[in-house]
Structures are given as C-alpha cells and as structure tokens.
Structure 1
Amino acid sequence: MKNYVDEISANVRLEEGSAVIEQLLLECYFSPGISTKELARKTLLPVPVAAAIKKELVKAGALTQENGTRCSRAGTAWIEQELGYGGINKSLYLKLTAGDADWKVELADVVSELQEIFLLRPQVDVRIDQSKCTAETSLRRAVLCLKQQTLIGKRVLCIGDDDLVSVSLSFLLRKLFPEGHSKTRIDVVDIDERFLSYIGETAARERLPIHCRRWDLRQPLAEEWQGQYDCFFTDPPYTLQGMTLFLSRGISGLKKRKGAPIFLSFAHKSPEFMLAMQREFVRMGLMVSATFPRFNEYEGAEMIANRSQMIVLKTTEQTRSEYAGAFEDALYTGEVKRTLRTYRCQQCGEAVYVGFQGDVPTIEQLKNQGCPRCKNDTFQLIEKKSV
C-alpha cells in the first residue's frame, strides 16, 4: 500500500514538515466534507498551502472533492490500516480532541482505574528527584499526546516514567479502541528497577503495549533505540543539566523529521532560570510550540508548590543532542548543591568555578552572564568534586 505522506512530501516541500500532511488527512477522515478554509484553520496553514496539499492528495487518490473534501476509499483504508485508526471510537476521539472538551467527564472511568494503579506504585526516591504526579495529571499528558496526533499508531518513548505516563497512554488507547489496537508501541527507559518492575507487571496483567528497559541516562541511548520514535515524554530532574541531558537522550531517540513533539514537564522557575532553559532549547535546535502553566499536579512536592508546567517542544532541521556522549556533570538537585565544578570556556579557555563557594552559584547563571573574559556562553566541564 502506497504511503501518501511520503509521496506528497516528496512533491510538495513544506517548511512545516511532513506531519502536517498526515494531520490534514486525518481532518478529512474525521470531518468528511470539510472546507479548504477549515482545513487551513485546523492545520494552522495558509489557505494556499492547505489547498496545494489537498490538491496533491486528490491527485494521489487519497482524497475526493465532492461537497467539500473527504477521504476516498483508498485513503480511508490507508488511514485505518497503516496509521492504525481502524476501529477507533470516532465520537470519543472528536470529543477528546475538541479544544474546549472536558475530557475528565469522558474519561472518568479511566481516571478511576488509574487511581487504583497509582495508589500501589513504589515510593519516590527523592535522591533522584522523583515526585508523584496524580493519576489525573498522567492521563492529562496522554490526552495532550492524542491532541498532538502522536499517539495512535506511533512509537512513544518515556525518558523516565515514575509518573506512569506509559500506563495512562495505554489505558487511553484501550478506551478509544474497544475492539483492541496493535499499532502503537510505548517504550520506557528508567534507572529505577522498582518502577520498571511495577510498570512491567501492570502491562503484563492489563495487556498493554509497553516495553521497559533499565538504563542509566548518563550513558547514550542504545543504538537500537536511536532514531526510532515519533515523540517522547520526560519529567527530568529540575536542574539545567538534568533537563538538557534528558532532552538530549530523547532527541537521539526521535526519528529525523521536523515537527516531532517533545512533552517536557518542568518546575516553574525564575526568569533567569527560564532564560537559561530557552538558551538550551535554541542550542539544541528546538522550538517552543506551547506552554501550559500549572499543567501537572503532584502529591507532596511542596518545593514546587505541587505544580509544574508542561512545555511542548518541536524539532526542526537544526535539532541535535547537546550531550552525545557519556555525561559526567552533577545531575540531580542534591548533587548540584553539594559540588564545586570547574568549567572551561569553549571559546577562550577561561576556567570558572561553579557551585558551592564557587565564582558563580549555578551553571544557568554562568550561561546567562557569559564567560567573564569573552562573554561566550558555552562551557565544558573539566572537574567536579564534592564539598
């Protein structure tokens, strides 16, 4: 069966990437008879661009133009068989993806099931910056993934999963596909054997499409995981190094295409820290697609007032991992507070001491103010010691 997205992508070079072609097809699938203007509005494309893509899809045989635009039989078959939408509860899908939908009403039974599972999960290990998000928050992340059209038929990676997002994604799929669904795969990498065992046992008992593997993210992802995924989730340690490392590992796992979403949960921080975060995003070639303040709710976690933000990032042609090799810097909050680290400016070679009793208290502050000699903002760790 021909791949309409690849075929049209080869014919129409889009700055937005090929994902928008799939999105346009899905809009026609779920809203047969949709107008070109509405297609443009739904896909955030200029009307002429939406019309050009539609024209190519009609020419390829995926769409037909009659009383608006709709999928042909061949297009419908491709979406259902190749993209994995066959058997979906269309009414529920449309309700969940509507902008003003109260998904908690539609998924009340799923929340209830998840709450029982979350109640028995392992205790958090604060030494590695774990915290317990609520079952509702975990499912909210899954619904966001659905709205971004990167769940059904996709490969999803969880970089750390003490929030059991993999389980929430799977339960959402089960709700959407009453007769079963086999196109989606969810992989979890985490250093904590307790959570991996719990997720694995839950997946086996509930027959969920989850695969777990223990991995220390200080090391690069295994080669077989690199370039395999359509999106990833992460709720990293709330340090600049932790965020950058977890994003780097996730980026290495993504397929090489523009517009792949990254779901980053992170504490609300000071303007200075947020500026340093955004410098890291730019350095890694990532764009901020959306920010949702107070999106995540946690049990306990008083240090962050029980809330954190969700930042949706998207890849570009310039996207690359900041850390490609092994990571040797301080990672978790406790490590950062107890260490004195020496960084060398990558432009002029100036050495700067960062941390406890150092020249600068944090790496984010150093990057914001730049090298004291040349004002460059890229540094290499050359020494770390506990104090």
Structure 2
Amino acid sequence: MQKQLQQITANMLLEEHYHTLEKALLALYFHKNCTTKSLANMTDLPIPIVSAMKKEFAKQGWGKHSLTKKGQLAISQYFQLSGANAKLYFQLTTDNSFRTEWIAQNISGLSTIYDARPTADVAIDQAKCTVDTALKRALLALDYTMLLNKRILCLGDDDFISIALAFLLKKIAPHSATKIVVLDIDRRVLSTISNIAKDYELPIKADYYNVQEPLPKTYAHQFDCVYTDTPYTLIGAQLFLSRAINALKPEAMRHVFFSYAKRSYQKQWELQQSLQAMGFVINSIKYDINTYEGAQILGATSQLFVLQTTEHMISHIPNQRKFTRPIYTGEVERKSVVYQCIRCKHSLIVGAKNQYTTITQLQSSGCPSCKNKKFSQIKRTVQKTQDQHALGHHILLELHDCDVALLNDVQKIKTIMCQAAHKAKATIVTENFHHFSPYGVSGVVIIQESHLTIHTWPEYGYAAIDVFTCNSKIALQEAVQYITEQFNAGNATQHYVYRGK
C-alpha cells in the first residue's frame, strides 16, 4: 500500500509526502465519514487538494467520503488495526476535554511503573518528567500520525517516554506493528525499561549507546520519528539532533519531538538558527507539556519543539568519528555553589571536582560536622569552558535589487569594500579584485582580523558578501550597513554565524 500512496502523491504533484495521505486514510477509517472540509481541517491541506486526494482514493477502490470494505481492509492491514479501539482514537484526536480527562485517569495506572525509574543523574543532565508529561508527549505521536505502523526511537529515555508510547499503543491498537527502540548511555535506565517491557509485553527494545560515538549502522535511517530530551547546552542539543537525523528515514516529513530547557532570547535565537541550518522546520513549540519532578535547574519546565524534516537535512556533527567536546551542562558550565549548614554554620563548596557534586548528595550525607541536612546557599559562580566562546564572527550578507551598473564596476566595488573595512575599524593587510567578462566581480579584502569578500551577479542585480572577523571588537554591523547602503539594495538579508564555537 505504501507504493500506492507514493504513486498517488506523484500523480497529484503533492508537495507533502505520502504521510499526509496516511493521516487522511486514518481519519476516514476511525471517523467513518468525513466531509471534504473536515478532512481538510484534519490534514491541514487546502480543500481543492483534499478533493483531488479523495478522487485518487476512489480510483483505488477505497472510497471517497467514507471507506468501502476494500478500503477498510487495506487500511486495517497496512496499519495493523485488528482489534483497534476506534472510539478511543476518535475521542483522543477530536475532543480536548476527553483527552485531558483520559490523561488524568491514566496517571495512577502508570505511576507505579514510573516510580521504579532510577534516580536522576544530574551529571548527564537527567531530570525526570512527570507521568502527565510522558502521556502528553506520547499523544503527540498520535497527533502527527507517527504512532501506528511506525518505528519510533527514544534517544535518551530517562523520562520513560517509551513506556508511555507503548501504553498508548496497547490502548488504541494492541496488534500494531509499531516498534519502539530506546538508546541510552545509562544502563540503569536500559535495565529497568527492558524489565518493564518484558513484564507487560511491550514492543520496546532497549540498547546501550553513547551519543558521542557514531550511530551504529543497525539504527541508521530506520526510524519514522525520534523523541529526545537533550542536554541543556547548545552543543549537546546539536549532537543529539545530528544523531536523530542519522537515525531517521531519509524521506522528508519525519518528526523529532525535541525537549529543551527554556533559555534567554539570545540562546533561543542561536538554537533556532542551528535548527534551520540542519534543515528542520519548526512545526510548533509547546510550552504547556514538559514538567519535571524537582528540576530546579529548569524551573521545573522546558519547551518542546515539534520538528519536521525536509529534503535538505544536514547533520551539524558528522557521524564518522567519536565526538570529543564537552556536551553536558556540568562540563560546559562548571558551577560551584557555597552552602552553609543552617545549624553549625559550616561552609562547603558543591560542584564538579568537589566531594559533593550536587546539593542532593550533600543533603543525603548531611553536614560533615553536625549531620544536619538543611543548608542555605551563600554564593554561586559559573565558569564556562573556553570552547563556548566563538573564535570568529561571520555575517553572510545577501543583497538583491542592487544598482546593476555598480555591480559590474570593479573599481567602485573595491573602494566600497575597503571603506567598509575602515568603517568596521579593521586593519587592511591587502586586497585583490577581479572583473569577469562579460560581467561580474569577485574580490577580497584581507584584514588583520580576517576578511571581507564579495561576488556579484549584475544580470540578477545580486551580490553575495561575507564579513568575517576573529576579533569581537570589530564593528561588523557598521560594515554591513555601509555596504548595503552603497549598493542601494532593495532587499537585504543577513545570516549570522558563530565560527569555532
């Protein structure tokens, strides 16, 4: 049936991949009868496209507004829906009030299982999510048609999202062919999940994997979606997401459900720039899902990005060799906190390379002088590792609708670029510019702090410019503004890149 769906996608010249057709067919199967308008709402497609899609379904003999017996059988076999709870699927996907009530009713049933989770290892940024959060995350797979007849990867799973997914799967389609794989560095987590999966007959496979190693070939390009709650550093997120890209099937419109701590606007911008550079589309950002048990470092909450893959995916970190840079918060930001015993006033330093690395450990052991377990914070310092600072600052400037005559004048372009270097307070070492026949100019201004480069396409009114410096005191934006004004650009865009960070 997958080949038929791919052919329908080709026949319709549909930009979305066949996964959108899967969503439509599941809606027809579980909702019994769908108008064109209602199906358009459920698939986020324009009504004319949904009408054309229904006609293609009818050509296959599957039905149009409702499924024929042939259509029901084909979809049931494709998604392994024998014994499926159609009413539950319908209510969970259409009724938010029922969904909220269903989550509340099932928390107690899972709490006993979740209580068996090992203690959080803060050294690798673990923080246990609540059972409520686990169920909400699992329901995302249902919302994005990533639950039935799929391969799901949980990349790092101290949150036990795999258990919530398997629980939901058994409730809706107990005979589904869905497979869930857990890859984690914490053998305690793997052992506990494996035992639970065995006891409850859940379709979960748990395997040891250190994300700093290349992804094993066994798991490369095998999955439809990935769940990951990454370390709370940018480089940690980039590494986990790079491995997720390696694990996903190569077609577009696969999903990554990515949880990450809330950060400052600047850090949020850096993260989203990175997501875009890797080829992800941010489908949505959920601020009301992730809650953690006693995770003061996060403010007890985090954001969840629903990421969608495109045909332009690029791993930020290659999969060929071991990654050796620090990725966890405790490695990247070395924190030390001075605590004072409330009873005897004895002071201790808590943090990396000290006797107690966390306040939890100190409280558990008690004050070494009087065994009291209550402490007050006196002083807190954060020392970032050197590789957090960018070695270079790089602006990629694109100028459209420029002065066409100027774009072909090598002497004027050289003057503008050298003057831009002066505007940036840079020191020019040398320059070289060349005019191509019949048109186009390329040039470089070498400065002590790095370089400025340009290439022009007069026939398109376009210029591509790089302004790069290894000195943070250089006024890059003044150079960029000057260049933009001198070329009389009607449209200008910038891409800011931190080099060597």
Q: Which residue of 2 aligns with 1:274?
A: 268
**Is 2:50 the partner of 1:54?**
no
2:304 alignment partner, SS class: strand
Instruction: Give yes or no for contact 1:186–1:210 (8 Å, CA) kept in 2.
Output: yes
2:96 alignment partner, SS class: coil
Q: Which residue of 2 aligns with 1:196?
A: 190
2:249 alignment partner, SS class: coil
Q: Which residue of 2 aligns with 1:363?
A: none
Q: Which residue of 1 aligns with 2:497?
A: 377
Summarize the Cα distance change of 1:127–1:239 in structure 2 as closer, same or farther, 3 Å threshold. same
Summarize the Cα distance change of 1:113–1:48 in structure 2 as closer, same or farther, 3 Å threshold. same
**Is 2:115 the partner of 1:119?**
yes
Instruction: Give yes or no for contact 1:161–1:195 (8 Å, CA) kept in 2.
Output: yes
CA deviation string 1:203-251 (max 9, x = no partner):
0111100001101101121112111111010000111011111111111
Which amino acid letter does the alignment assign opposite residue 120 of structure 1? Answer: A
Matches within 5 A, 1:73-88: 73-88=69-84
Instruction: Give yes or no for contact 2:103–2:136 (8 Å, CA) kept in 1.
Output: no
Q: Post-superposition shift, 1:343?
A: 5.6
**Is 2:329 the partner of 1:333?**
yes
Instruction: Give yes or no for contact 2:151–2:222 (8 Å, CA) kept in 1.
Output: yes
- Aligned counterparts of 1:313 and 1:235: Cα–Cα separation in 2: 13
**Is 2:66 the partner of 1:70?**
yes
Q: Which residue of 1 aligns with 2:35?
A: 35
Q: Post-superposition shift, 1:12?
A: 2.2
Q: Post-superposition shift, 1:16?
A: 2.0
Matches within 5 A, 1:131-142: 131-142=127-138
Which amino acid letter does the alignment assign opposite residue 377 of structure 1? Answer: V
2:32 alignment partner, SS class: coil
Q: Post-superposition shift, 1:303?
A: 1.7
Which amino acid letter does the alignment assign opposite residue 238 of structure 2? Answer: T
Instruction: Give yes or no for contact 2:154–2:183 (8 Å, CA) kept in 1.
Output: yes
Larger Rg: 2
Instruction: Give yes or no for contact 1:344–1:350 (8 Å, CA) kept in 2.
Output: no
- Aligned counterparts of 2:169 and 2:72: Cα–Cα separation in 1: 20
Q: Which residue of 2 aligns with 1:226?
A: 220
Q: Which residue of 1 aligns with 2:20?
A: 20
Summarize the Cα distance change of 1:227–1:79 in structure 2 as closer, same or farther, 3 Å threshold. same
**Is 2:273 the partner of 1:315?**
no
Between stretches 187-196 and 34-43, larger displacement belongs to 34-43
Q: Post-superposition shift, 1:87?
A: 1.6
Q: Which residue of 1 aligns with 2:141?
A: 145
Aligned counterpart in structure 2 of residue 291 of structure 1, from 285, 288, 299: 285
Instruction: Give yes or no for contact 1:85–1:153 (8 Å, CA) kept in 2.
Output: no
TM-score by length of 1: 0.86
Q: Post-superposition shift, 1:99?
A: 5.1
Summarize the Cα distance change of 1:46–1:122 in structure 2 as closer, same or farther, 3 Å threshold. same
Instruction: Give yes or no for contact 1:155–1:228 (8 Å, CA) kept in 2.
Output: yes
- CA RMSD, Structure 1 to Structure 2 (Å): 2.4
- Aligned counterparts of 2:147 and 2:156: Cα–Cα separation in 1: 18
Q: Post-superposition shift, 1:174?
A: 1.5
Which amino acid letter does the alignment assign opposite residue 499 of structure 2? Answer: F
**Is 2:99 the partner of 1:103?**
yes
Instruction: Give yes or no for contact 2:19–2:145 (8 Å, CA) kept in 1.
Output: no
Q: Which residue of 2 aligns with 1:364?
A: none
Q: Which residue of 1 aligns with 2:5?
A: 5
CA deviation string 1:292-339 (max 9, x = no partner):
113111111112111111110101111221112332222000111142
Q: Post-superposition shift, 1:33?
A: 2.9
Q: Post-superposition shift, 1:15?
A: 1.5
- Aligned counterparts of 1:350 and 1:198: Cα–Cα separation in 2: 57
Aligned counterpart in structure 1 of residue 246 of structure 2, from 252, 270, 273: 252
CA deviation string 1:4-23 (max 9, x = no partner):
32221232222222211111
The share of aligned pairs that are identical, in percent, is 38
2:194 alignment partner, SS class: helix
Instruction: Give yes or no for contact 1:133–1:299 (8 Å, CA) kept in 2.
Output: yes
Q: Post-superposition shift, 1:370?
A: 8.1
CA deviation string 1:256-285 (max 9, x = no partner):
122211101111111111101110111011
Which amino acid letter does the alignment assign opposite residue 328 of structure 2? Answer: Y
Aligned counterpart in structure 2 of residue 236 of structure 1, from 230, 236, 243: 230
Q: Which residue of 1 aligns with 2:208?
A: 214
Summarize the Cα distance change of 1:350–1:146 in structure 2 as closer, same or farther, 3 Å threshold. farther
Instruction: Give yes or no for contact 1:18–1:258 (8 Å, CA) kept in 2.
Output: no
Summarize the Cα distance change of 1:334–1:112 in structure 2 as closer, same or farther, 3 Å threshold. same
Between stretches 340-349 and 308-317, larger displacement belongs to 340-349
- Aligned counterparts of 1:36 and 1:126: Cα–Cα separation in 2: 50
Aligned counterpart in structure 2 of residue 91 of structure 1, from 81, 87, 90: 87
- Aligned counterparts of 2:147 and 2:34: Cα–Cα separation in 1: 23
Greater relative contact order (Cα < 8 A, sep 6+): 1
Q: Post-superposition shift, 1:252?
A: 0.9
Q: Post-superposition shift, 1:40?
A: 1.4
